[in-house]
Each structure stands twice: as structure tokens, then as C-alpha cells.
Amino acid sequence: MDMSDPLYSECRYFLTYSGVRLPLKLVTPINEADTRNRNTYMRGYYDALDRLVALEKVVYGEIEFEHRYQYHDNGRVSRAEIHLVADEELTVICFDESGAQVGMSDPRRP
């Protein structure tokens, strides 16, 4: 992920996330300095409209998984890329403007 990309205008840190719907909801904000004392935390990247456009779960200094999100004009997620780093798997899920899933690529299926 290229953090110099202007799409990622702000990085925030969190203890964890909740829910299963996309985008994931990052909860319990922490300061960047607090990440030095944590084994696990989440990094969230927000665009100029304050939408979560990417997140990373960091475990012992390594990225365990990451998500990237794109949005429809109405604010709903249009595309989610889910990358499981250790397994080198990338799943892409597409949604229509109502939020209904309309497509998915799953690396475990031929």
C-alpha cells in the first residue's frame, strides 16, 4: 500500500474492530505512541471525506491482513479487497449501490 498516495489522507490507530459487514468498524481509538506497547492493533486510513479506505491488522509488527475499500457516490461500499498476507490470498467483493453483494473472486475456488 502506497501511503504517499493522496487517497490515504489520514492514518488512525485502534485496538480492534467489530462487526462482519464491510467496511469493518474500527473501535477503541489509541494514539500512535500507544502502538509501541501493543502486540496487536489496527491502522485505519481515511480519505478526505472521512471514509475508511484501507485498514491493516498489525500483529507483532507484521501485517496479518489488510482491506481496501472503494465507495459509490451514495457512500456505500462498491468494492472491497481483502488480503490475507500469510496465505497470500486476495479476495475481491463487489457491491451494488444498495449494498447488496453482486460478485466475488475467491482464490480458494478455481
Domains of the chain: total? 1
Largest CA distance in the chain: 44
pLDDT value at position 74?
97
pLDDT value at position 16?
97
pLDDT value at position 51?
96
The owner of cell 475499500 is: 69
Q: Is residue 89 part of a domain?
A: yes
Q: Is residue 1 part of a domain?
A: no
Q: Which of 58, 56, 82, 87 is CA-nearest to residue 70?
A: 82
Fill in the DSSP letter of residue 87: T
Q: Is residue 56 part of a domain?
A: yes
Q: Is residue 110 part of a domain?
A: no
Whole-Å CA distances, 55 to 43, 76, 102: 5, 17, 22
Half-sphere exposure of 93 (CA within 13 A, CB side): 14
Mean pLDDT per 10-residue interval, the chain, length 110 residues: 62 96 97 95 95 97 96 97 92 96 76
Q: Are 78 and 71 in contact (CB under 8 A)?
A: yes
Q: Is residue 2 part of a domain?
A: no
Q: Is residue 48 part of a domain?
A: yes
pLDDT value at position 109?
59
Q: Is residue 16 part of a domain?
A: yes
pLDDT value at position 68?
97
CATH code (residue 27): 2.40.128
Cβ atoms within 10 Å, residue 13: 19
H or E stretch including 103?
Answer: strand 101-105
Q: How many helices (H) and strands (E) does the chain have?
A: 0, 8
Q: Is residue 5 part of a domain?
A: no
Domain residues for the domain of 35 are 10-105
